[in-house]
Amino acid sequence: MRKVRGFLAIVLLTGLLGACADNEKTVGQLDVAVFVPGMVAGSPIYEMLVAGATQAVSEVPNATLKIIEAGYNQAEWLDKLTALAETAEFELIVSSNPALPDLCARVAADYPEQRFFIADAYLAGNPAIHTVLYNQQEQGYMIGYLAALYTKELGGPPVVGLIAAQSYPTLDRLIRPGFLAGLQAVDPAFQIEYREIGNWYDAAKAAELAAAIYDSGAQVILPIAGSAGQGVVATAVERDRKVVWFDGSGYQLAPNVVIGCADLAQDRLVYERVKQLLEGDDQLYGQAAIVSVREDYILFDPDGEGYRALSPSVRQQQENALQALAAGQPDFLLTDF
């Protein structure tokens, strides 16, 4: 009899707990989902997204974290995001990239209680969504300047490669013009040799495109291609040419081939904003912030063998340009997007 009662008690308890998990949330519990639009590995911007959210959640009592990799098929993202909102399990969905605000706005229309924070994106005025955009003109400028300094010192033709995964507004309207401005600040003769891969993972295609650009005479290429960018590095190693890097330190990928890395403080940004939102700062929803070199969210990372191996003159000129940029010269003022 005792055994049966015990068994019944366990069944009842399990049923109750199950009901709780399905229908109700424990009071005070804050569940966060990180929606990665792609895969984490090989994309520093997503590695930092996860790191920042993880730290914020670890510092807020009762907060939990789940990481969802949505994969590279962009046509599936809306359905996956909708399914996530439909669970009503997560107070906050955190993501990163400029395509996300439109998708989140569509989900928010059907699930008005759902809240979103999206880094590396811009959407103002939606009461369910907070976004923060990097002034990517600056990241493009600082790395373009270095690519041109290196090429010019070597006496190569005034052309630098840019291999992108795909065309998108931030690339076309901020990164690419900023990169060109950096090149032409060194010498107005510089031009970009531009190619597109078609996705964020095909390193073999990126390697092929890089080969064609290097063979046409360019000394340096910038990949904006997530994990596919490693194909560009592989070709540079084969041909003894150079790469400049975006979004974080890439020096370790190939010492003396990666000559400079621009960096985003995306881990710090995501940490700060997620923490603020979890602590109840609801005023952020509806707001679209823009951050820049002035608040140290966009940086240049000089701490790599490839950068230290450059001539003292190139490094001095690069450091002067970085100081000028921080002081507003040139001024890439951006108030909306």
Does the footprint of ligand RBF cover residue 224 (CB under 6 A)? yes
Does the footprint of ligand RBF cover residue 177 (CB under 6 A)? no
Q: For ligand RBF, which residue of 31, 138, 193, 247 counts as binding (CB under 6 A)? A: 247
- Token pair for 193: 């040799």
Q: For ligand RBF, which residue of 200, 307, 332, 337 counts as binding (CB under 6 A)? A: 200
Q: CA-to-CA distance for 167 and 238, rounded, in angstroms?
A: 27
- Token pair for 306: 């490839």
For ligand RBF, the closer CB: 43 or 135: 43
Binding to ligand RBF (CB under 6 A): which residues in 248-307? none
Using CB atoms within 10 Å of the CB of residue 149, give its burial: 0 to 12 exposed, 13 to 18 middle, 19+ buried: buried
Best CA proximity match to 256, nearest among 305, 312, 314: 305
Q: Which stretch binds ligand RBF (CB under 6 A): 37-45, 182-190, 307-315, 317-325?
A: 37-45
Q: CA-to-CA distance for 125 and 10, rounded, in angstroms?
A: 49
For ligand RBF, the closer CB: 49 or 314: 49
Q: For ligand RBF, which residue of 30, 92, 118, 120 counts as binding (CB under 6 A)? A: 120
Q: ∠ CA(131), CA(134), CA(140), 5° rounding?
A: 155
Tell me the closest approach of the beta carbon of residue 199 to ligand RBF, in angstroms: 9
Does the footprint of ligand RBF cover residue 74 (CB under 6 A)? yes
Best CA proximity match to 36, nearest among 49, 25, 19: 49
- Contact indicator for 257, 243 with CB cutoff of 8 Å: yes
Q: CA-to-CA distance for 70 and 68, rounded, in angstroms?
A: 6
Tell me the closest approach of the beta carbon of residue 143 to ligand RBF, in angstroms: 11
Q: Which stretch binds ligand RBF (CB under 6 A): 94-102, 110-118, 274-282, 287-295?
A: 94-102
**What is the total count of residues that contact ligand RBF (CB under 6 A)?**
16
Does the footprint of ligand RBF cover residue 214 (CB under 6 A)? no
Q: In this chain, which residue has its C-beta nearest to ligand RBF?
A: 226
Tell me the closest approach of the beta carbon of residue 122 to ligand RBF, in angstroms: 11
Tell me the closest approach of the beta carbon of residue 244 to ligand RBF, in angstroms: 13
Does the footprint of ligand RBF cover residue 31 (CB under 6 A)? no
Which residues, 6+ apart, have CB-to-CB distance to 254 below 8 Å? 233, 236, 237, 243, 306
> DSSP letter string over 213-234?
HHHTT-SEEEEE-GGGHHHHHH
Q: For ligand RBF, which residue of 223, 226, 250, 304 counts as binding (CB under 6 A)? A: 226
- Contact indicator for 68, 93 with CB cutoff of 8 Å: no
Q: For ligand RBF, which residue of 33, 40, 45, 70 counts as binding (CB under 6 A)? A: 45
Q: CA-to-CA distance for 231 and 210, rounded, in angstroms?
A: 8
Give the residues lining the site for ligand RBF (CB under 6 A): 37-38, 43, 45, 74, 97-99, 120, 168, 170, 200, 224, 226, 246-247
